[in-house]
Chains A and B, each alone.
Chain A
Amino acid sequence: MKNSVLLGALTIAGLAAGAAAAGTLDDVKARGTLNCGVTTGLIGFAAPDANGVWEGFDVGVCRALAAAVLGDPMAVEFVPTTGQTRFTALASGEIDFLARNTTWTFSRDVDLKFEFVGINYYDGQGFMVPRALGVSSAKDLDGATVCIQTGTTTELNLADFFRSNNISYEPVPIETNAEGQQQYLAGACDTYTTDASGLAATRAAFENPGDHVLLPEIISKEPLGPLVRHGDNEWADVARWTLNALIAAEELGVTSANIAELASGTDNPEINRLLGTEGELGAMLGLESDWAMKAIMAGGNYGELFEKNIGENTPIGLARGLNALWTDGGLVYTPPFR
């Protein structure tokens, strides 16, 4: 054991050298930028636009956090990660915050030593097939070739789904969504499986989105959320309550349009506490009193981020569904700002 530790030290010392477990908030403030892990490119969630500026739903969360901590939504260094590299990047300290449609699971939270700070998208795993294949149910996929991103929960769900239905498949492991899209369109696999939101986003980028259908089966629960390293509770609090602030803002009707007006003081004490005109919530987190206001102004509240990046009026066209506010019959809910 001693010997193994020694050998191991030699190999990973370089990686581990950058790791710091405590004081991420101070590190970020001192550095002046937030290192945010995102996907290598999934339109609507995180992808660079024509000018190379990252945009998307997950990117919006990163920008809100940067605005809350540093006062500048553009002070973000985006680090593209694959399904396989994301956890190492976070654990080693290369990134401060991972917003990469990552599923909150027991083992990731407990065994991999991460801290999920909330859920920003309630998702489930689906299948996309070419319409010409004539398949109407995932259970008809016996013997099919399936493109699957490695190092994801979808890979495990896929194995479970086919095993429990007693049908076989041939996995084609891929590294990034772009690779999956290329293999799927080339016909190297019959079906592409990942989170339904990811499938919708991928299909939106196709030349003829209408030639491809999503099968009705949703085979898993995929609560996607941002996460930080385990053990740095101050930083986890900042991240958690920034996300909550975006949700609370939608609930309280605070939008990027009316926030300036509301910030001058309202009759609603919860809005006042959220926007920092009443109480000391910002100071408790170690931030400015208007931290939440800056976070909301970065890209709007949760609903605005959703509509702008992946909502029904975008090419991706996702309905709010489970991701509507709890007051509208969805699951999105935040503890009170008090």
Chain B
Amino acid sequence: MTTLTDPPKASFRLSQLIYDTRYRSITIQVIATILLIVGIYWLVNNTIQNLAALGKDFDFGFLTQPAGYDINQRLIPYTSQSTHGMAALVGILNTLLVAFLGCILATFLGVTAGVLRLSNNWVVSRLMAVYVEGFRNVPLLLWIISIMALMTEGMSRIREFRVGGDASMILNDSVAVTNRGVYIPGIILENGFLASSAMNWLILLVILIISVIVVRGVRKRADAVQEDTGVRPTTWYQQLAILIIPVGLIMILMGAELQYPELRGFNFSDGVHLRNSLIALWLALSLYTGAFIAEIVRAGILAISKGQSEAAFALGLRPNRTTSLVILPQAMRVIIPPLISQYLNLTKNSSLAIAVGYMDVRSTLGGITINQTGRELEGMLLLGAFYLVLSLVISGAMNVYNNRTQLQER
């Protein structure tokens, strides 16, 4: 049966590079590398030549020049005399704001819809199916524009809020829904510890974070007591007190005051102005991404074997306790990795702000600044680098969370 023939000759023939599996992979890799290098060289060379032909140089100095344009939504102080770099920063914060708000609302909507879609109630599960399929299968841009149009065309005009007009403020005259956006009451700090109001809010944020850490400590101790004695001490009032009292106290010291929007001159002033563009972008991004998250959550729950819930029922756990204590913790392991992609999608999709004039980083740095300075290459590079870094940070943070919820093999 042996078919062994002469041992292979030591000599090397050129055709072996293609036909001999020992060498073929090396050949392919070398060719691919050469093609890649040639491609990159061509791109670089092309860019340098074309920049030279256009008489343009490569310089980031424009970031320190005065921007000259105004931005309506700014989370930090900015005027038209600020630099292009500041304008970019204002845009970055606006992008972060809508991405942050969007991720929270999308997660809430997604988890709710995902769980309810598995409901035994026929009407509820069908309704959720309609939501998921409706939002998943229509382009996001259409939703953004539709919501924007609904806001500008459907809501009352400012002039209708004047004396004798048809429209009036809702919720005890504290919220005005207009076609320029929604005006809600805002908190102002009359005499903060520091001159800048942003710094005062930062102090409050730090205190809140410390409170949250303390609350976690309280919960851990309650867990330990439960482990030892089997009885869980009631701690919800302690937790609530730790969360509210320090922040509340500092706010009172800082002279916090609720400011209601008031129609003065052309517009409502005071309070917080949620612009149409923000609302349209935020809602559309959340509803759209929420539909995808709903499917991820549903898949995660269905991935848990039926035996788990049966076992939980056998132990006497009620359905909602079963869901929160048995099903969801296990489902999280399946849910989180695809959830990261959805967060990244939402963040990057926020650049569709262009459709409604939301002043995100694409509009400031990647739009007006590029247009006024003619620095397309530099601006686009910075923009790309920003979205890259942001996406890497988000996925990095989510990966840390994923590692903690992963199955611990023992």
Contacts and interface: CB of A to CB of B under 8 A. Distances in A.
B211 interface: no
B266 A145 contact: yes
B289 interface: no
B374 A4 contact: no
Nearest to B153: A186
Interface string B57-98: 010000000001111100000011100000000000000000
A50 interface: no
Contact of B44 (A5, A20, A141, A183): A5
A273 B384 CA distance: 54
A77 to B, nearest CB: 22
B54 interface: yes
A226 B56 CA distance: 21
Interface in A142-165: 142-145, 150-151, 155-156, 158-160, 162-163
B334 to A, nearest CB: 36
Contact of A9 (B47, B153, B363, B373): B47
Contacts of B44: 5-6, 9
Given A112-B374, A150-B363, A188-B276, A10 B70 contact: no
B157 interface: yes
A19 B51 CA distance: 10
Interface stretch (A167-175, A239-247, A296-304, A327-335): A167-175
A151 B55 contact: no
B264 interface: yes
Contacts of A155: 69-70, 368
Contacts of B373: 107, 111-112
Contacts of A209: none
Given A10-B40, A231-B54, A188 B152 contact: yes
A257 interface: no
Interface in A53-112: 83-84, 87-88, 91, 107-108, 111-112
Contacts of B359: 173
B47 A173 contact: no
A190 B267 CA distance: 9
A21 interface: yes
B376 interface: yes
A16 B179 contact: no
Contacts of B357: 150, 172-175
Nearest to B56: A113
Q: When A and B form their complex, which 6 residue pairs have the shortest distance between CB atoms, in order from nearest?
A: A159-B80, A112-B374, A151-B371, A21-B53, A9-B47, A187-B157
A12 interface: yes
A17 B54 contact: no
Interface of A: 1, 4-13, 15-17, 19-22, 83-84, 87-88, 91, 107-108, 111-113, 132-133, 141-145, 150-151, 155-156, 158-160, 162-163, 169-175, 182-183, 186-190, 229-231
A156 B265 contact: no
B377 interface: yes
Interface string B139-178: 0000000000000110001110000000000000000000
B152 A10 contact: no
B264 A21 contact: no
A5 B48 contact: yes
With a 10 A CB-CB cut-off, give which of B71, B354, B357, B384 has the most chain A CB atoms.
B357
B266 A19 contact: no
A112 B372 CA distance: 8
Contacts of B384: 11
A162 B68 CA distance: 12
Nearest to A10: B43
Nearest to B366: A84
Nearest to B367: A84
Interface of B: 40, 42-48, 50-51, 53-56, 58, 68-72, 79-81, 152-153, 157-159, 179-180, 264-267, 269, 276, 354, 357, 359, 363, 367-368, 370-374, 376-378, 380-381, 384
Contacts, number: 159
Given A84-B371, A162-B70, 17 more contacts: A4-B58, A5-B44, A8-B47, A8-B380, A10-B43, A13-B42, A84-B368, A113-B55, A143-B265, A155-B69, A156-B69, A163-B81, A173-B357, A174-B357, A187-B158, A188-B179, A190-B266
9 contacts: A9-B48, A83-B371, A150-B357, A156-B69, A171-B72, A172-B357, A173-B72, A186-B153, A188-B152
B61 to A, nearest CB: 11
Nearest to A105: B372
A141 B266 contact: yes
B180 A156 contact: no
Contacts of B55: 113, 230-231
With a 10 A CB-CB cut-off, give which of B69, B267, B354 has the most chain A CB atoms.
B69
A159 B40 contact: no
B267 A8 contact: no
Contact of A172 (B72, B264, B381): B72
Contact of A158 (B70, B159, B269): B70
A169 to B, nearest CB: 8
Contacts of A143: 264-267, 269
Contacts of A88: 370, 376
A87 B267 contact: no
Contacts of B264: 143
Nearest to B160: A187
Nearest to A141: B266
A13 B267 contact: no
B216 to A, nearest CB: 42
Contact of A156 (B40, B51, B54, B372): B372
A11 B374 CA distance: 16
B9 to A, nearest CB: 45
Given A183-B152, A187-B157, A111 B354 contact: no
